[in-house]
Amino acid sequence: MSRVSRVKRAISLAAIAVVVAGCGSTATPSPTPAPTPVVTPAGPGPSTIVAASPTANPAAQCGHYTGPAATISYAIWGDTTELANQQKIVDAFEAMNPTIKVNVTVADWDTYWDKLQTSLAGGNAPDVFLMDGPLYPDYQTRDQLLDLTPYIARDGFDTSQLADLGIKDFTAADGHLYGLPRDLSTIALYYNKKMFDAAGIPYPDGTWDWNKLVSVSQQLTKTVNGATQWGFYTETTDMENYWSELVWQAGGDIVGPDKKTLMIDSDQAAQGIQFLQDLIYKYKVMAQPTPGGSGDLFENGQAAMEADGSWLVPSHIAAGIDFGVAPLPAGPAGKATSVNPSGVVVYKGTKSPDAAWEFVKCYTGPTMQQLVAQLKASMPVNKSVLATTYATSFDGGQVFADSLSYAHLKPSFRGYNEFTTALQDELDTNVFNDNNKTAKQALDDVASQLQDLLGQ
């Protein structure tokens, strides 16, 4: 449920290459006559948030499991709070499917991937495990994940009830689904209402652009009780938090549609990243980042605005901030934000494929997605629940839901981690943590290395 809001680049997925492919037996659905598949291809356009029509096929719904009794394992990343949240969802699933027992395990981000790689190599991976969208191709292309398309067809499961961009992210090159999106995370502009009220400044809204962000941030950057109140804050250690959005808002991109063409070295992409550097060093409305991070300055009451993810809603509420949420300010090429789906996948060697599929299927259904919405730690992937329960559950829910209409998928391709590590190291060292280079100079310097890493 929760997203990792700090640097996620410590792991190396190169070890996956040595994992023995197809360690377990290849599981196939029981020989039930399969109707025509209802996997809805996700086109390049934005996701449309509409209520999905209920299916008439009972097998496609949760609570109609007729397979053998089973105990399955479900592995996630996160902390104790996340474990408690997921246990609530598992409890709901078990109440609907009393012959399936689900054992949940949790580990922090780095440990999670290390343990997963080890268990895959040993042929004893969890039956179901959480998958980050950008890393999905690294696992799917190495024959470790169960193809869910035959199960989707057998049960008549309608994937059009799920957010289009989420389905697109988990659709492999062969057109099949080797996982389903579980939830979504997107980026918007948080603002501290108390600070805006004290300055007599109207709250941000959908009319804002980069110039307006700079102007208001300058007004809100001041000394208060001997301490600096910054006008703006964001995390610079991962593209998801803000700089990828700025690249798209400037008309640039990171990689091409073929996932083999480098685009981050364009003038437009550099313009977006340069804007973030300028917020720090030219306009001086954002604190200079420090290696290892300095905490969330917005949540600590030290910044009036923050560009960051939907996963921060629960922690901002817990911190007692009276905050609002607005769309990210538009750039020269218009509005843009990012969306990063998390998904649930099934280990190809599982001994209980039908029970594992039932859990994955149920997770995306209305009952369990209602729990996702109520927890507010991420956005439900079910269109109906997203458009109703989540959008109305807190001040800003509708902004996050509506942002899918202009969202770009966070890049997802084989070799993603190595690519982003090289790119982020260059930006951290020379653009964000210090202004040794302009954005264009830094991107030009790392471009050849990035191109070599694409398609690995």
- With residue 181 as reference, give the H or E element that holds it: strand 180-192
Q: How far is CA 287 from CA 106, 131, 195, 331, in A?
A: 34, 33, 17, 22
Question: What radius of gyration, in Å, describes the C-alpha atoms of the chain?
Answer: 22
Residue 193 falls within a domain, yes or no?
A: yes
**444 against 6, higher pLDDT:** 444
Q: Are residues 442 and 362 in the same domain?
A: no
Residue 55 falls within a domain, yes or no?
A: yes
Quick one: pLDDT at residue 32? 41
Q: Please write the tens of the pLDDT for every residue from 364-394.
A: 999 999 999 998 889 999 999 999 999 999 9
Quick one: pLDDT at residue 52? 36
Q: Are residues 280 and 427 in the same domain?
A: yes
Residue 2 falls within a domain, yes or no?
A: no
| 30 CB-contact burial (10 Å; exposed 0-12 / middle 13-18 / buried 19+) | exposed
Q: Are residues 324 and 201 in the same domain?
A: yes
Which residue from 394, 204, 407, 205 is spatially nearest to 313, judged by alpha carbons? 394
DSSP 387: I
Cα gap 159→165, rounded to integer Å: 11
CATH of the domain at 389: 3.40.190.10
Mean pLDDT, to the nearest integer, of 140-153? 96
Residue 284 falls within a domain, yes or no?
A: yes
CA 73 to the chain's CA centroid: 23
Q: Please write the tens of the pLDDT for every residue from 55-86.
A: 457 778 898 899 999 999 999 999 888 889 89
DSSP 42: -
Q: What angle do helix axes 366-375 and 80-96 make, rounded to 10 degrees?
A: 160
Task: Output the pTM of the full model.
Answer: 0.88
Phi, psi of 291 (to 5 degrees): -55, 130
Query: 3-class secondary structure for 238-283?
Result: CCCCCHHHHHHHCCCCCECCCCCCECCCCHHHHHHHHHHHHHHHCC
DSSP 361: H
Q: Are residues 59 and 29 in the same domain?
A: yes
Instruction: Give residue 155's pLDDT band: very low, low, confident or very high (50, 70, 90).
Output: very high
Cα gap 449→456, rounded to integer Å: 12
Quick one: pLDDT at residue 13? 41
pLDDT above 90 as % of the chain = 80
Quick one: pLDDT at residue 27? 53
Of 201-205, 262-266, 289-293, where does mean pLDDT reach its minimum? 289-293
Q: Are residues 329 and 353 in the same domain?
A: no
Instruction: Give residue 456's pLDDT band: very low, low, confident or very high (50, 70, 90).
Output: low
pLDDT above 70 as % of the chain = 87
Residue 1 falls within a domain, yes or no?
A: no
Cα gap 397→406, rounded to integer Å: 16
Residue 4 falls within a domain, yes or no?
A: no
Which residue from 19, 239, 267, 46 is spatially nearest to 121, judged by alpha carbons? 19
Phi, psi of 340 (to 5 degrees): -125, 105
Residue 343 has pLDDT above 60, yes or no: yes
Q: Are residues 175 and 192 in the same domain?
A: no
Which residue from 98, 92, 90, 96 is spatially nearest to 74, judged by alpha carbons? 90
- Mean pLDDT of the chain, nearest integer: 88
Instruction: Give residue 286's pLDDT band: very low, low, confident or very high (50, 70, 90).
Output: very high
Q: How many CB atoms lie within 10 A of CB 98?
A: 10
Q: Are residues 33 and 89 in the same domain?
A: yes
Q: Are residues 19 and 75 in the same domain?
A: yes
Cα gap 424→431, rounded to integer Å: 10
Which residue from 206, 148, 143 is spatially nearest to 181, judged by alpha carbons? 148
Q: How many CB atoms lie within 10 A of CB 318?
A: 10
Q: State the pairing for strand pair 227-229/222-224.
A: antiparallel
Q: Please write the tens of the pLDDT for every residue from 20-62.
A: 333 444 455 643 433 333 433 333 333 333 333 444 577 788 9
Residue 225 falls within a domain, yes or no?
A: yes
Cα gap 206→29, rounded to integer Å: 48
End position of a domain, from candidates 402, 428, 445: 402
DSSP 331: B
Q: Are residues 74 and 217 in the same domain?
A: no
Mean pLDDT, to the nearest integer, of 285-312? 92
Quick one: pLDDT at residue 16? 41
Phi, psi of 274 (to 5 degrees): -60, -35
Residue 6 falls within a domain, yes or no?
A: no
Q: What angle do CA 181, 186, 188 make, to 5 degrees?
A: 165
Cα gap 36→395, rounded to integer Å: 41
Count of residues for the chain?
456
| Three-class SS state of 143 | coil
Residue 10 has pLDDT above 50, yes or no: no
Q: Are residues 357 and 386 in the same domain?
A: yes
Among positive and negative, which fits the CA dihedral 411, 414, 419, 424? positive
The residues facing 237 across adjacent strands are none
Residue 352 has pLDDT above 90, yes or no: yes
Cα gap 198→453, rounded to integer Å: 49
Phi, psi of 328 (to 5 degrees): -60, 140
Q: How many domains does the chain have?
A: 2
Quick one: pLDDT at residue 63? 87
Q: Please write the tens of the pLDDT for every residue from 173-195.
A: 999 999 999 999 999 999 999 99
Q: Are residues 23 and 112 in the same domain?
A: yes
| Three-class SS state of 25 | coil
Q: How many CB atoms lie within 10 A of CB 113?
A: 22
Q: State the pairing for strand pair 337-346/407-409.
A: parallel
Of 48-57, 228-237, 330-339, 442-451, where does mean pLDDT reach its minimum? 48-57
* Contact predicate 262/247, CB 8 Å: no
For 144, the domain range is 13-185+341-402
| Residues near 42 by beta carbon (within 8 Å), at least 6 away in sequence | 164, 165, 167, 168, 171
| Residues near 260 by beta carbon (within 8 Å), at least 6 away in sequence | 454, 455
Q: Are residues 172 and 211 in the same domain?
A: no
